[in-house]
Structure 1
Amino acid sequence: MAESLNGLKRTSMCGLLRETNVGEKHVVMGWVQRKRNLGGLVFIDLRDRDGILQVVFGEEINKEAFEKADLVKSEYCIAVEGELVKRQSPNETLPTGMVELKGQSIKILSESETPPIYIKEDLDTDEMVRLKYRYLDLRRPDMQKIFKIRHKIAKVVRDFLDENGFLEIETPIMTKSTPEGARDYLVPSRNYPGMFYALPQSPQLFKQLLMVSGFDKYFQIAKCFRDEDLRANRQPEFTQIDMELSFVDMEDVIEVNERLIKRIFKEVGDIDVQLPIQRMPYKEAMDKYGSDKPDLRFGMEINDLTDVVKNCEFKVFKDAIENGGSVRAIKAPTCADMGRKQIDKLGEFVKTYKAKGLAWMAYKADEIKSPISKFLSEEEIKSILDKVDAKQGDLILIVADKDSVVLQALGALRLQMASKLELLKDNKEYKFVWITDFPLLAYNEEEDRYQAEHHPFTMPKDEDIEYLESDPGRVRAKAYDIVLNGEELGGGSIRIHDTKLQAKMFKVLGFTKETAWERFGFLLDAFKFGPPPHGGLAYGFDRMTMFLAGTENIKDVIAFPKNQNAFCPLTEAPNVVDENQLEELGIKKSVTDNK
């Protein structure tokens, strides 16, 4: 039978009591982690979000309390009143292990069935079960630790930005659909039949409007929504730490954000971030690492062999070069003895990145073992070894194709080899880098047009504006990403605030004047009234929490996440709705099978 508190007040969290509290009377409340009956004594490990406290009940202490304590089971919710004493048998693995509460009264606040999952750290249970019973999963100490970290990150962000003159302003969740990227989640309107709101993919347009409004420095911890196929560590509903600043250039945005990053990582993770953070142009990142989010915790850089092999007899190399591509390689240290089957698997691996195959050279005891050596002169082989700085025992892995394929394949292969060599195992380094000078535009061959690499409001670099219409692919953006250990932590740009330049940008992107106004008219209209130069940045709040919590699964840092199919096993959303609701919205179902 569940009991009420009847005015009983908690005096301390279980996990906070220490030897300095011995002799004090306390009331603690929480869930039963474990119960042990040792004859005349009942021991209960009582758990709340701050930890576990041992409570002891004895016939000699209070017989009624002892008998009631013997009735409780795991995950019963109880309240206990008693005196804190020193433990006879201390447990040095627990922060509260030197003390225990001598239970003088107990209330059973609610009973519990046997939980379908264990409430313990490092739980090895099917993810679907964890998500279905997420409220129990969140009781686990390691999960509660993660959400304390998430809370602290948010607090540090708010404190820092407040100190630096930012105002926290909320932007709409229901807004106009302006598709240019992922699909929008749409919300039908009852008042305007046949019309829809969209959930925001980001607060981008509204934060720019706030700059037009004169707020100067805005931030928001903002919910964002994208209806896209989910890959690893993506969720349809996620959170950004979003900011925008007026009267700034790129240096101003980077400077304030470096100080913010340093503060977050020090106060939350006790990690010292050295400033200034390294910067790397996009082209250098791609040429060296095959990625615009390079992992700098290990070397294995990509080397361009094109000049070295341009006159060789190997047809694969010659064809790639003649077709405007390149020949590039990475050096896998100490891998010369890798078996042929393993190397063949690496060849299959790069084919998943559209490479046609993988050439290789094993540098063994003053000799080269390679299926392509017969097509290369001794001088060409020596030049390859020199180019990649090969030592005896190294394996050289080579891809030849058009640049985009070569760089993507070798960038992925570099990470694959680092995993095989366990270069990142137990690696606690935090390698930050700013990636700058991104291409402003990317050419979409299928649609035969240029697309914005970031978004249509990104400012071109001043020296490249003259090429915007004549040579769009040459234009670089005033855009910048902050990358940590091979993951994009955040990104932003300086925005276009000149209406004439914005019109040119829309023209290059293939928008007619009418289309541009149809999609973005409210912003373009606002820009008639003296918009200031402005720019900003947004962090992935969930991803930042993953780093500081030490987890590789984004679902661990979101309280109630969806599964890989964007389905919530807990609430069973999405689900059918009442026919009357659909009728009110003017919607007629065309799909009958909702399974």
Structure 2
Amino acid sequence: MTTTQPATGELPIPEPGVSAASGQRTAMRTHLCADLRADHVGRTVSVCGWVAHRRQHGQSLTFVDLRDHSGLLQVVVDGSVDVRSEYVLRVTGTVAIRPEGTANPALATGEVELRDCAVEILSVATPPPFPLDDRADAVDESTRLAYRYLDLRRERMQRNLRTRSAVLGAMRAALAPLDFVEVETPLLMPSTPEGAREFIVPSRQFPGSFYALPQSPQLFKQLLMVGGTDRYFQFARCLRDEDLRADRQYEFTQLDLEMSFVDQDDVLDVISAAVLAAARAVRTDTVPPIERITWHESMNRFGVDKPDLRFGMELVELTAIFAGSGFKAFAGAEAIKGIRVPGGSAAHNRRRLDDLTTRAKALGAKGLVWMRVGAGGELESPVAKFLSADELAGIVAATDAVEGDLLLLVADAWATTCEVLGQLRNDLGRPPAGQGPLRFVWVVDFPLFVGVDPATGRPKPGHHPFTRPHPDDIAKLESEPLAVRSRAYDLVLNGWELGSGSIRIHESALQQRIFGLLGITPDEANARFGFFLTPFGYGAPPHGGFAVGIDRLVAILAGEENIREVIAFPKTQSGLDPLTGAPTQVTDRQLRELGVRVIAAAPPATAAAPASAGGERG
């Protein structure tokens, strides 16, 4: 029987353990589309959803693939029913086994179909501008975002949003038994222009004054520790006016956390438990324990401070092999390192080798030495004739090279050598985001300062100026500031930095020493951070914290290369919102009320925004 009228009477009660148990039974449906299986055969059920496909078999039968967020169900309607793609239906019918030879193993519901159906059209629909299936992946992103409400109906997007929800739920559940208090911090706060670029909000009641949107809850969460909260967290919405890219949006979400009376290990243990709980909630593969390495080890082995542990090709130390070398390019170099590209010899002709050399120079190296490994470990290279037999043999032994491998060597300052080979390692070996295992790693003992400001001659902070120096290095603050390690730490997953944190300075005397090294006078400190520093004079506990970038974490767990795919309504890489048209102009009346006048803006800076001096970024 076919009808376009609403079914009457009370809905049948589903058996225990299915939709009703999961809260999906409503006045309009008993099951989700993908709930139904062979053990439901003979039951009368009601489902609701969108028409994914319609196939008419003459005038006797109509086949409709009905879709909701859970998946597809085939509905068989006697006669003809006038529905089109994306119509919204309620269908009541009897679950039956599909005829022999027509089962679809690609569907969870592929053994069954719904027969003897009553169809109610809940909403009609115009044809969508693109197909709402995997073919939409090839559609221009701006079109997908302009019709994001349609894009979200797709299985991929529904899966990503539910993965995100499961991650948040698992992290909350991991923190709940640890006595954390969830606290919301302000969205309107004073400007801290020494950090990353801010979004500024004009005040109507105080013309000429402005709020800033938070880059991070950093200052407020530390004040919560001064206030005795002891353990705080929130899923904080943060905003930074930085150039957008695959792993960065103007708006982002982070699990923000702070703890009192702790040391570094305490914070790392809590965050480790939270992210491992999130990973295990949405992944079926085994997630190994989180490794821990120092920043210096990370640079030496991987050439970057966010190492991807899914693949080898680690940097190999070769400096000692060339001590006293007659080869001019190697003689006197501070550091000589190499990487082995397994089987890379055949894959790299001379043109590709020249491209690698150009890439190395663009990254800051003076040059790049390449070597193909032939039979018996013989090295083919334009520089082989300048090296001794012992040097050539030493290279093969140190790199464990075998026939068919490609070796890439850089000789330069230690930092340059590491960074160039680290980038080449990622270029040549890094798998896509969705491939391989999950490999978390803590990177600890970052430098407290990262070089010297040429304009002032003073050290530049590697994190924010409230980061605690390593206790073993405090005596070096004035004599060797660049040798001082910090109690700062990053969490990295598959080569993506998930977030950063640190143990904080809670003593006024130590904070003044750091400000003095940075050239910040007491008056300047009070002017810039007074509302934050004054409370510390009333008794601040030792404390530390962290921020996990939820968008990045979910993207990796979902196998996505771009965080826009795990955000419901993102901006494009240019910062536009094709759905709403934002940013838009406002009326002259609004501007007058705010005391704001629009003038021609200076051309935007091309340089990347500086790292925030006042917060942590997930």
Distance in 1, Cα, partners of 2:311 & 2:107: 37
Q: Is 1:583 aligned to residue 603 of structure 2?
A: no
Shift of 1:104: 4.0
Change (3 A) 1:393 1:592: closer
Change (3 A) 1:101 1:371: same
2:540 match: 531
- Larger mean CA deviation between 451-460 and 374-383 belongs to 374-383
Shift of 1:253: 1.2
Shift of 1:503: 1.6
Task: Please list, as runs of the form range in 1=range in 2, the aligned pairs for 1:81-480 lying within 5 A after superposition.
Answer: 81-88=92-99, 89-102=102-115, 104-121=117-134, 123-275=137-289, 277-318=290-331, 321=333, 325-337=334-346, 338-366=348-376, 367-419=378-430, 427-448=435-456, 449-480=458-489
Question: Secondary structure at the residue paired with 1:240?
Answer: strand
Question: Secondary structure at the residue paired with 1:561?
Answer: coil
Distance in 2, Cα, partners of 1:479 & 1:593: 36
Distance in 2, Cα, partners of 1:219 & 1:270: 27
Distance in 1, Cα, partners of 2:601 & 2:235: 39
Distance in 1, Cα, partners of 2:159 & 2:30: 22
Shift of 1:5: 10
Distance in 1, Cα, partners of 2:158 & 2:52: 15
> Match for 1:42 among 39, 58, 62?
62
Give per-residue Cα distances to partners, 1:361-401, cap 9 Å, x unaligned: 22212432221123222222222333323333332211122
Q: Which has the higher contact order (CA 8 A, sep 6+)?
A: 2
Task: Please list, as runs of the form range in 1=range in 2, the aligned pairs for 1:510-525 lying within 5 A after superposition.
Answer: 510-525=519-534
Distance in 2, Cα, partners of 1:349 & 1:3: 67
Change (3 A) 1:469 1:593: closer
Q: Is 1:56 aligned to residue 105 of structure 2?
A: no
- Larger mean CA deviation between 200-209 and 387-396 belongs to 387-396
Distance in 1, Cα, partners of 2:121 & 2:298: 61
Distance in 2, Cα, partners of 1:305 & 1:408: 16
Gaps of 5+ in 1: 60-65
Shift of 1:270: 2.5
The AA in structure 2 aligned to 1:17 is L
2:15 match: none
The AA in structure 1 aligned to 2:584 is N
Change (3 A) 1:244 1:14: same
Gaps of 5+ in 2: 10-26, 604-618
TM-score (norm 2): 0.89
Question: Secondary structure at the residue paired with 1:293?
Answer: coil
Distance in 2, Cα, partners of 1:339 & 1:351: 19
Give per-residue Cα distances to partners, 1:222-263, cap 9 Å, x unaligned: 111111122332111111011111111111112222222332
Distance in 2, Cα, partners of 1:426 & 1:583: 50
The AA in structure 1 aligned to 2:328 is K
- Larger mean CA deviation between 444-453 and 568-577 belongs to 444-453
Change (3 A) 1:445 1:37: same
Q: Is the 8 A contact 2:288 2:439 kept in 1?
A: no
Change (3 A) 1:175 1:439: same
Change (3 A) 1:171 1:191: same
1:62 match: none
Distance in 2, Cα, partners of 1:397 & 1:207: 46
Distance in 2, Cα, partners of 1:58 & 1:249: 70
Task: Please list, as runs of the form range in 1=range in 2, the aligned pairs for 1:484-499 lying within 5 A after superposition.
Answer: 484-499=493-508
The AA in structure 2 aligned to 1:93 is A
Distance in 2, Cα, partners of 1:6 & 1:20: 26
Q: How many residues align?
A: 576
The AA in structure 2 aligned to 1:227 is D
Give per-residue Cα distances to partners, 1:448-505, cap 9 Å, x unaligned: 4322212111111111111222221111111121222212223211111111111211
Give per-residue Cα distances to partners, 1:414-468, cap 9 Å, x unaligned: 112215xxx7798422222211111011125454432221211111111111122
Distance in 1, Cα, partners of 2:113 & 2:354: 61
Change (3 A) 1:472 1:515: same
- Larger mean CA deviation between 172-181 and 573-582 belongs to 172-181
- Larger mean CA deviation between 101-110 and 464-473 belongs to 101-110
Distance in 2, Cα, partners of 1:6 & 1:190: 56
The AA in structure 1 aligned to 2:294 is P
The AA in structure 2 aligned to 1:27 is S
2:23 match: none
Distance in 2, Cα, partners of 1:244 & 1:182: 21
Q: Is the 8 A contact 1:55 1:101 kept in 2?
A: yes
Distance in 2, Cα, partners of 1:386 & 1:37: 70
Q: Is the 8 A contact 1:418 1:424 kept in 2?
A: no
Shift of 1:148: 0.7
Change (3 A) 1:586 1:98: same
Change (3 A) 1:239 1:26: same
Distance in 2, Cα, partners of 1:415 & 1:150: 27
Distance in 2, Cα, partners of 1:214 & 1:17: 52
> Match for 2:514 among 490, 496, 505?
505
Give per-residue Cα distances to partners, 1:320-370, cap 9 Å, x unaligned: 62xxx3222112222334322111111011122111221122221243222
Q: Is 1:573 aligned to residue 582 of structure 2?
A: yes
Shift of 1:3: 9.1
Give per-residue Cα distances to partners, 1:279-313, cap 9 Å, x unaligned: 11111110111011111222222123223224223
Question: Secondary structure at the residue paired with 2:344?
Answer: coil
Question: Secondary structure at the residue paired with 1:527?
Answer: helix
Question: Secondary structure at the residue paired with 1:568?
Answer: coil
Q: Is the 8 A contact 2:434 2:560 kept in 1?
A: no
Give per-residue Cα distances to partners, 1:23-60, cap 9 Å, x unaligned: 3332222111011111211111111111111222214x
Question: Secondary structure at the residue paired with 1:115?
Answer: coil
1:63 match: none
Q: Is the 8 A contact 1:3 1:109 kept in 2?
A: no
Q: Is the 8 A contact 2:7 2:92 kept in 1?
A: no
Shift of 1:189: 0.8
2:18 match: none
Change (3 A) 1:381 1:104: closer
Change (3 A) 1:103 1:221: farther
TM-score (norm 1): 0.92
Question: Secondary structure at the residue paired with 1:409?
Answer: helix
The AA in structure 1 aligned to 2:498 is L
- Larger mean CA deviation between 302-311 and 280-289 belongs to 302-311
Superposed CA RMSD? 2.3
